Amino acid sequence: MSDVVSPDALGSAASHVVAPPVPAGAPLVEVRGLRKDYPIGGGFLGRARATVHAVAGVDLTVRTGETLGIVGESGSGKSTLGRCILRLTEPTAGSVSFGGRDVLALSGRDLRAMRREMQIVFQDPYASLNPRMRIGAIVAEGIEIHGLARGAAKRARVHELLEKVGLRPEHYDRYPHEFSGGQRQRVGIARALAVGPRFIVADEPVSALDVSIQAQVLNLLRRLQDEMHLAYLFISHDLRVVAHVSHRVAVMYLGKIVEQAPVAELYRNPRHPYTRALLSAVPVPDPRRRPDRIRLGGDVPSPVNPPTGCAFHPRCPYAEDRCRRDVPPLIEGAEEHAVACHVFPAPPR
Ligand code: SF4
């Protein structure tokens, strides 16, 4: 039940701003060379038998007030990336800065204060709320931990948050089991907002919900972003969902970003064969506009022993010798469009 633990619960009372204000549209979160390795297996004398390279060197930037969508199949490392940025999981290497402050160098009071600024909305609204706590107590947890309000003021703040996410003040004394999946996710969002964050990692926030409810929660996230100038890292396996909420999209494959572009540019002009395969599988309402389905051969390779060169080469219909030998770097071209591919590079500037 690790998801029951909110980032706030990892610290105790401390609440001073540790990063300066960042103007709208300026970089807020900057990640460089981020890696996360997990040693696995108990070999001789407890030594690791192998290493899972869950995140294999990621660079990204999230600007104030924007949504960067991260899309990829299960096992691409996207959730681990989000957790490393928040330091819910400690990265193996690389750097994360928030408003110019080095997040990985923080400890104690400064780290706890930073957790006010960087929150998470979890995937599963059923598992992420403690079933023994009332909704009011769940939303108030961060307010208490960071010493933001007490007594009547705390209750009033929680009422305000419940209304902000489309719930009612009388829901304060109810338990999670009395709510639908969509309502529980609204509680999860209220909990994240309670401490006044500037950045939220939304980790598959609608994938456990019915399609009819997904749009409501996505629209809520967009409205809150406009009202509160929030920056989101929006993680999903579903390109349709990512397109609905994102300003820019990064496509991950085996722990790396293989393509990144503003959302309209990526959908109009996908370059990387993996992105094109993902896009070709997205249902479109008009069958006459359906792109030819690109079926990928083979399974996603193991991150324990990733292929040499381009990790996508065993499944790529365009693979050449150099693809099997050399790792393609992520290179940015025109339109802020970056691609890691030897054969289909970014559009020239
Ligand atoms: Fe395919 Fe080669 Fe491009 Fe990798 S680098 S996606 S193998 S064409």
Tell me the pLDDT band of 40, cut-offs 50, 70 and 90. confident
Q: Give the residue, out of 251, 252, 320, with the most ligand 1 atoms within 8 A of its beta carbon, to mutate for a pocket test.
A: 320
Banded model confidence at residue 67, pLDDT cuts 50, 70, 90: very high
What value does the mean pLDDT of the chain take?
A: 89
What one-letter code names the amino acid at 237?
A: H
Q: Report whether residue 273 contacts ligand 1, using a CB cutoff of 6 Å.
A: yes
- Whose tokens are 């690791």? That residue is 48
Q: How confident is the model at residue 12 (pLDDT cuts 50, 70, 90)?
A: very low
- Judged by average pLDDT, the poorest of 8-17, 34-43, 64-73, 129-138 is 8-17
Ligand 1 within 6 A of CB of 321: no
Reported confidence tier of residue 305, pLDDT bands at 50, 70, 90 = confident
Of 205-209, 249-253, 307-311, least confident by mean pLDDT is: 205-209
Residues 6 or more apart whose Cβ sits within 8 Å of residue 68:
60, 61, 62, 231, 232, 233, 234, 246, 247, 248, 249, 250
Distances (CA, A) of 163 to 52, 156, 180, 270: 43, 11, 16, 40
3-state secondary structure of 273: helix
- Give the predicted TM-score (pTM) of the model: 0.90
Angle at alpha carbon of residue 317, lines to 339 and 311, rounded to 5°: 55
Residues in the chain: 349
Query: In the structure encoding, which two tokens stand for residue 197, read together?
Result: 């964050």
Residue nearest to atom 5 of ligand 1 (CA): 341
Give CA–CA dist 127/221, Å, rounded. Answer: 20
Half-sphere exposure of 5 (CA within 13 A, CB side): 10
Percent of the chain with pLDDT over 90: 73
Ligand 1 mutation pick, 330, 342, 344, max ligand atoms within 8 A of CB: 342
Q: What is the pLDDT of residues 246-301, one digit of tens each?
A: 999 999 999 999 999 999 999 999 999 999 999 988 776 665 665 667 777 777 78
Q: Which atom of ligand 1 is nearest to the CA of 323?
A: 2
Residue 135 Cα to ligand 1 midpoint, Å, equals 49
Neighbouring residues of 150: CB distance < 8 A, sequence distance ≥ 6: 144
| Cα gap 302→127, rounded to integer Å | 28
**Which residues, at least 6 apart from 8, have a Cβ–Cβ distance to it below 8 Å?**
115, 116, 141, 142, 145, 146, 195
More confident residue, 131 or 126: 131
Query: Residue 140: its pLDDT value, please?
Result: 96
Check pocket membership of 328 for ligand 1, CB cut-off 6 A.
yes
Statement: residue 10 has pLDDT above 60: no
- Cβ of 60 below 6 Å from ligand 1: no
Cα Rg, the chain, nearest whole Å: 21
- What's the confidence (pLDDT) of residue 307? 93
Q: 140 C-alpha vs ligand 1 centroid, how far in Å?
A: 49
Q: Is the C-beta atom of 343 inside 6 A of ligand 1? A: yes
279: tokens are 């896009």
| Most confident region among 46-50, 144-148, 200-204 by mean pLDDT | 200-204
The strands making up 67-71's β-sheet, listed across from edge to edge, are 118-121, 199-203, 231-236, 67-71, 248-253, 256-262, 338-339, 331-332
Q: Separation of 318 CA from ligand 1 center, angstroms?
A: 6
DSSP secondary structure string, 18-61? -S----TTSEEEEEEEEEEEEEES--GGG--SEEEEEEEEEEEE
How many CA atoms lie within 13 Å of 158's alpha carbon, on the beta-carbon side? 25
